[in-house]
Amino acid sequence: EVRLVESGGGLVKPGESLRLSCAASGFTFTSAWMSWVRQAPGKGLEWVGRIKSESDGGTVDYAAPVKGRFTISRDDSKNTLYLQMSSLTTEDTALYYCGNSYYYWGQGALVTVSS
Amino acid sequence: DIVMTQTPLSLSVTPGQPASISCKSSQSLLHRNGKTYLYWYLQKPGQSPQLLISEASNRFSGVPDRFSGSGSGTDFTLKISRVEAEDVGVYYCMQSIQVPPTFGPGTRVDIK
């Protein structure tokens, strides 16, 4: 069974940083392309970024609104995906989901940015 | 970026009746490898999105056969042959042929 469990969400002030983690199991993490999408309260789904497998180059792509502020990384030895978020604004308030490519999604981690 | 549009944006269906959602993309989703990079998701209330259909017409593992996907190029359709109460939620289409992947606005389905 594929499991994706996000953690690290919370309440932060504008300008602060936060790191989300996604613990993966039930599939071969090392060969998976992993993604983050987010959903602002009451809104639709927005792609945040994706990291390819190391065997495919480990390339990372980001959505324009987060490029330069967010960093996606992975630790294949721990089957864990990360999302490092900095210079957070109220516009980043959302539920953040990690995904196994575009097939499975976790239950999400809530990030609230408010003064 | 590829723009995804969905119609209708909301749908109220009688149990046992069919339902259909249209999704259109601003560019063709047919890759030169022959695959069409269009996905359908259902987000049930309070849950994360769950994949229903991949590559426009491939029903995902465990998805009931009352769900079907069709279409090509820029025009796609998700059909539910007989809606059940558990099918309520918001349906999204998404393209992944081009970065950034983009989602449609969602179609909210409820039961009459």
**pLDDT single digits (tens) B23-50:** 999 999 999 999 999 999 999 999 999 9
Query: Which among A44, A64, A102 has the least Cβ separation from residue B39?
Result: A102
Those residues whose C-beta lies under 8 Å from the C-beta of residue A93, and which sit 6 or more positions away, are: A40, A41, A111, A112, A113, A114
Distance CA A27, CA A41 (A): 30
**Peptide bond preceding B49 in cis form (omega within 30 of 0):** no
Instruction: Over range A2-17, report the average pLDDT.
Output: 98
pLDDT at residue number A111: 98
B2/chain A closest Cα distance in angstroms: 13
CA distances, A75 to each of A22, A81, B75 (Å): 10, 6, 39
**Mean pLDDT, chain A, as a whole number?**
97
In the structure, what pLDDT confidence band is assigned to residue A101 with cuts at 50, 70 and 90? confident
Cross-chain CB nearest to A44 (options B51, B92, B101): B92
Longest dimension (CA), chain B: 43
Strand-pair category, B10-13 with B107-111: parallel
Question: If you ran DSSP here, which 8-state letter would residue B30 be given?
Answer: B
Those residues of chain B whose CB sits closer than 8 Å to some CB in chain A are 39, 41, 43, 47-51, 54, 60, 90, 92, 94, 96, 99-106
Answer whether residue B87 shows pLDDT above 90. Answer: yes
> Hey, is the C-beta of A97 within 8 angstroms of any chain B C-beta?
yes
What is the C-alpha to C-alpha distance for residues A90 and A113, in angstroms, rounded to an integer?
Answer: 5
B110: distance to nearest CA of chain A, Å? 16
Distance of CA A3 to the CA centre of its chain: 15
Instruction: Decide if A33 touches B, using CB distance below 8 A.
Output: no
pLDDT cut 70: percent of chain B above it: 100
Sequence-ordered list of residues with C-beta below 8 angstroms from that of A67, at least 6 positions apart, any chain: none
Q: What are phi and psi of B87, to 5 degrees?
A: -90, 0
Q: Is the dihedral of CA A41, A46, A51, A52 positive or negative?
A: positive
Chain B residues in contact with A52 by the CB 8 A cut-off are: none
